[in-house]
C-alpha cells in the first residue's frame, strides 16, 4: 500500500496531504554552500580549499544546471507529493546501511 492511500485500520494519516504546499527544491547555490560548509570539520585546510574550488566549478557547470532543472521538473510531476519523498523513503528508511 502506498503511503498516500488511506488505511482504514489506522486512520487517514495523509488525508489532507494534497492541501499542504509542496516541498520546494532548494536553490543550487545554497545547497552547494551548505555542502562546502559541512566539509570544514573533516578536511584539512588545503583539502577544504581544493574541495571548495571544485564545488564552485561544478556549480557553474551545465551539468549542475541540468540536474537542478530535473529536480524542479520532478516537483511538477503529476501525483508526486514531493521531489524527495521516494528517495527519502527508499534510501533513508529502507536502504541497507553497513556500520
82: nearest Cα among 92, 34, 32: 92
Q: How far apart are CA 99 and CA 84, in angstroms?
A: 24
Find the angle CA(31)-CA(37)-CA(43) to the nearest 5 degrees: 130
pLDDT, tens only, 13-70: 777 777 888 889 999 999 999 999 999 999 999 999 999 999 999 999 999 999 999 9
Structure-block grid coordinates of residue 86: 521516494
pTM of the model: 0.72
pLDDT, tens only, 84-99: 988 888 887 777 777 6
Please give the backbone phi and psi of residue 85, each rounded to the nearest 5 degrees, phi first: -50, -50
Amino acid at each position: 500500500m502506498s503511503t498516500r492511500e488511506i488505511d482504514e485500520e489506522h486512520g487517514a494519516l495523509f488525508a489532507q496531504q494534497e492541501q499542504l504546499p509542496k516541498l520546494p527544491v532548494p536553490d543550487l547555490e545554497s545547497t552547494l554552500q551548505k555542502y562546502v560548509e559541512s566539509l570544514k570539520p573533516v578536511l584539512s585546510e588545503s583539502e577544504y580549499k581544493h574541495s571548495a574550488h571544485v564545488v564552485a566549478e561544478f556549480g557553474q557547470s551545465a551539468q549542475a544546471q541540468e540536474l537542478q532543472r530535473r529536480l524542479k521538473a520532478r516537483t511538477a510531476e503529476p501525483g508526486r507529493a514531493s521531489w524527495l519523498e521516494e528517495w527519502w523513503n527508499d534510501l533513508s528508511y529502507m536502504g541497507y546501511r553497513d556500520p
